[in-house]
Amino acid sequence: MIGVVAVSHSARLGEAALELALQMVHGGGAQVRVAAGAGADADGTPILGTDAVSVASAIDDLATECDGVLVLMDLGSAVMSAELALELRTSDVPVRLAPAPFVEGLLAAVIAAAAGGSLGVVATEAAAALDAKTGQLQGDAPVDTASVETATAVPSSAVPASAAPASAAPASSPPEEPRITRRVRVRNPLGIHARPAALIAEASAGADVRLRRLPGGPEASAASLSRLLVLGARRGDEIELSAPDGDEQALAAIAALFDDGFGEGVDDAPTSAHSGPPAAAPAAVPAVAPGTLLRGRGVSAGVAAAFALTLAPPVLEPDAATVIAEDEREAEASRIRQACVAVAADLRSRAAASSGEARGILEASALLASDPDVVAEASALTRDAGRSAARAIWEVAAAHLQALESLGGRTAERAADVRDVRDRVVAEILGLAVPGVPQVTEPFVLVAHDLSPADTAALQGGRCAAIVTEQGGPTSHTAIIARSLGLPAVVGARGATGIAAGTLVLVDGDRGTVELEPTRERIAAATHAATVTPFDGRGRLADGSSLPLLANVGHATDARTAAAAGAEGVGLFRTEFCFLDRTDAPTVAEQVAAYRGVLAAFPGRKVVVRTLDAGSDKPLPFANADHEQNPALGVRGLRIARRNPQLLDDQLRALAEAASAESAHVEVMAPMIATVEEAREFAAAARAAGLERVGVMIETPSAAILAAEMFEVVDFVSLGTNDLTQYTLAADRLLGELGDLTDPWQPAVLRLIAAVGSAGRAANRAVGVCGEAGGDPALAPVLVGLGATSLSMTPRSLGRVAAALGALTPQQCRAAAEAALAAATAAEARAAAAVAIAR
């Protein structure tokens, strides 16, 4: 399975795009995470921006379940954050950054992933996502061709060959095996647009089903959203379906979709304009088999296992045919007001008995119930048209629901609140029991289509262990209250309502999964995996010798998180985060303020600051040229000072001012050092600015080989294992298909690290590791054995690395390092180190 990460400046945009994409897949087969926004300000207002730590966390979250991860980005710094996230992540799952349109690409990628496509296939579908729209605009209206090309073009170096747009791929030769065919007609009003295409892709179930528009139209694979849209099939068009012998079931399933009009109505059976549910009882939901794994969106962390409990039956739609006699309408209308008053009073009573988020949400529901406009509109329907009180409320609510849902995003999530109030008022009018959560004494997992605020708030202090809903989003009241109550919750889990009551369910609110009838061993493993390994704030080996464990941070929020996690200091402060979303460099004063925010989180402790590392995969408009033939080997890191020395001078001055204003022990280092001359010049500039402890990054093989000479001019070095591996193996670390080469366990990389460690011991100087390898619990002992004197990582890795090192002596670390160095391959190095440690 392939996971998808959507990186957006706007939380609302990210959530809305995800909601649109997930509405297209109905089998729960897509794993998607959104890393959007940059938190909130003091007033709670969302901040536009992106956070590489959040992106890295999303990738690592998907890595536990997925064979690869595709990352889509909206614009600007989202690309930089996604690229930096590859340094921050702790997993080694193949990752590809897609140069695809954000919304269309996310839609295509999610559908391709849900259909079981490989990372290459999912990337191809995302890259081709604009083909249908471009083709339609070029065919139907005058188009500024230059503008279209500008909007869709990307540098060829940014797109792997395997991710070329689907439309550019050569037509596949006809299959040799016998194929069966079937002709169908497009019957729904809008033809094959995104939703029908998604249903076709899902129904193909991996079979080689092809569609061709007759006569003589283009052909498309049923599994490809982009090619299905390019078909341009409209109502009345005839389509030929074909599949190999043996795939009749998939062919029949797709034909049935056409016959049904994809659930949108057909030309000879118009759909009803009424927005409410049918008057008859809902159709039975297909049962979900034991052993099934459902996927949704984890909105409240934690793991819990208990038996499923479903909500009481919903209130059915009141009969529309009933007409109240004119002389009875005034009395009937008064029942509306009485019922609304009663429901509002009940909700206010519930609110008074609740606290926190639950209380506020229930109070808002009480206001909905007593809304004078709703009462007036429903009463008018009864008086003027003879609607029953229950029917009048239902129709007024239907109009409100339609208005909310048409707005999408967070506003659409409020529709559940309106439905809840509607059902309560209707139940009050008809004298029915209000649907809701049954009272039970045993722990349970509450499973529902969606939950109302009152239902969710009623869980406070009860026996509910977790929540699973088929609908809902991260800002729904289900999510908000679940987090406030500390209940694991998964929303948007397609098929959840098919879980039979009494089924043992394992809910993982971190990974967004729901497992049916798990074994005891599986429950124990999931519970253990969800347990955060504590870190007491002191890294050490088994003999008590100190090994500082530091954090990698990008801004003040990261620093505060790292300090709370127990980090002993900062081993890498990536200052380029302070330059994001800008077309010009920040002033010295702006930089001082940003740097002080990080330093203030670590009073009296070490903070190692890396000067601006722009260029290559992290370009900034005011620092880098628009185009370089080979940016990874071009003007990046310290080399920017060759073109713009003022950038470096201002940054060193700002760092010195920030250091003098805070009590943190500031050390500064330069990235992309290749020669001793560069190291010497940087050290002189930093010390002239008032910074005493100066070092360099070891990211190039030349710097590693010259480590002994580097120590003659600097006080410490820090190994950037990500770039060191990239340059040693001549393999782009952002290219997923070269993941086997960009592995820090590669013997060539380990031997360069060993050379640096040896030089550090000889000079009695510090050798830090701040690359991704520093947070790997398996590799950390080897790095220590090779001479690392500190390790820096993401805060979430501190506990795991501390536990791994705390169980080993320095001798065991050296033995593991020697065994790995003697290996010929990365796999052999891993195995040899593990054997050495186990002895």
- Say if CB 428 and CB 342 are below 8 A apart: yes
Candidate from 143-152, 354-363, 406-415, 447-456 with smallest mean pLDDT: 143-152
Q: Which two tokens stand for residue 610?
A: 């890396």
* pLDDT in the model for residue 173: 42
Residues 11 and 60 in one domain: yes
Triad 562, 567, 569: Cα angle to 5°: 100
End-to-end Cα distance, the chain? 37
Top mean pLDDT of 11-25, 418-432, 571-585, 706-720 is at 706-720
Candidate from 9-23, 615-629, 645-659 with smallest mean pLDDT: 615-629
Report the CATH number that the domain containing residue 69 is assigned in CATH: 3.40.50.510
* pLDDT in the model for residue 738: 62
Q: For 727-783, how does the pLDDT look when each residue is reduced to its tens digit (9 = 90+)? A: 999 987 644 446 568 789 999 999 999 999 999 999 999 999 998 788 888 999 999
Strands 31-36 and 303-310: unpaired
* pLDDT in the model for residue 165: 34
Q: Which two tokens stand for residue 99?
A: 């140069």
Q: For 463-491, how does the pLDDT look when each residue is reduced to its tens digit (9 = 90+)? A: 889 999 887 765 466 776 676 677 899 98
Q: What percent of the chain has pLDDT over 90?
A: 33
Q: Which residue has the higher pLDDT, 249 or 132?
A: 249
* Cα 98 from Cα 92, distance rounded (Å): 18
Residues 604 and 498 in one domain: no
For the entire predicted model, the pTM comes to: 0.47
Mean pLDDT of the chain: 80
Scored b (16 or more CB within 10 A) or e, 757-788 reads bebbeebebbbbbbbbbbbbbbbbbbbbbbbb
- Say if CB 431 and CB 409 are below 8 A apart: no
Q: For 301-328, how does the pLDDT look when each residue is reduced to its tens digit (9 = 90+)? A: 788 999 998 876 667 889 888 899 999 9
The helix (H) or strand (E) run that includes residue 300 is strand 297-300
Q: Which residue has the higher pLDDT, 5 or 273?
A: 5
3-state secondary structure of 468: strand
Report the CATH number that the domain containing residue 404 is assigned in CATH: 1.10.274.10
Residues 559 and 682 in one domain: yes
* pLDDT in the model for residue 782: 98
Top mean pLDDT of 14-28, 470-484, 696-710 is at 696-710
Parent domain of 301: 293-312+438-530
Is residue 654 domain-resident?
A: yes
Q: Which residues are marked as active site?
A: 477, 770
Where does the pLDDT of residue 796 fall: very low under 50, low under 70, confident under 90, or very high at 90 and above? confident
* Strand extents, DSSP E, 470-599: 489-491, 504-508, 513-516, 549-553, 570-574
Residues 491 and 459 in one domain: yes
Over range 706-722, report the average pLDDT. 96
How many other C-beta atoms are found inside a 10 Å radius of the C-beta of residue 445?
Answer: 27
Residues 357 and 503 in one domain: no
Is residue 281 domain-resident?
A: no
Is residue 569 domain-resident?
A: yes
* pLDDT in the model for residue 172: 41
* Strand extents, DSSP E, 671-800: 693-698, 716-719, 766-769, 790-793
* pLDDT in the model for residue 677: 97
* pLDDT in the model for residue 592: 95
Residue 832 has pLDDT above 60, yes or no: yes
Is residue 213 domain-resident?
A: yes
Residues 391 and 509 in one domain: no
Residue 329 has pLDDT above 50, yes or no: yes
Indicate the DSSP class of residue 293: E
Burial zone of 444 (CB within 10 Å; 0-12 exposed, 13-18 middle, 19+ buried): buried
| Total count of domains within the chain | 5
* pLDDT in the model for residue 35: 84
Residues 716 and 736 in one domain: yes
Residues 555 and 452 in one domain: no
Is residue 678 domain-resident?
A: yes
Is residue 583 domain-resident?
A: yes
Nearest to 570 by CA among 662, 687, 699, 684: 662
Residues 443 and 424 in one domain: no
Where does the pLDDT of residue 391 fall: very low under 50, low under 70, confident under 90, or very high at 90 and above? very high
Residues 118 and 215 in one domain: no
Q: For 592-649, how does the pLDDT look when each residue is reduced to its tens digit (9 = 90+)? A: 999 999 999 999 999 999 998 876 555 566 666 556 667 678 787 788 888 889 989 9
* Cα 486 from Cα 480, distance rounded (Å): 10
Residue 409 has pLDDT above 70, yes or no: no
Is residue 446 domain-resident?
A: yes
Report the CATH number that the domain containing residue 246 is assigned in CATH: 3.30.1340.10
Residues 6+ apart with CB under 8 A from 361: 417, 453, 456, 457, 477, 480, 481
* Cα 283 from Cα 296, distance rounded (Å): 23
Residues 566 and 696 in one domain: yes
Residue 392 has pLDDT above 60, yes or no: yes
Integer angstrom CA distances of residue 149 from 154, 156, 159, 168, 806: 9, 14, 16, 14, 57
Candidate from 161-175, 284-298, 336-350, 738-752 with smallest mean pLDDT: 161-175
Is residue 829 domain-resident?
A: yes
Indicate the DSSP class of residue 408: -
3-state secondary structure of 731: coil
Residues 603 and 692 in one domain: yes
Residue at which a domain ends, from 499, 530, 561? 530
Report the CATH number that the domain containing residue 490 is assigned in CATH: 3.50.30.10
Report the CATH number that the domain containing residue 643 is assigned in CATH: 3.20.20.60
Q: Which two tokens stand for residue 494?
A: 């397609």
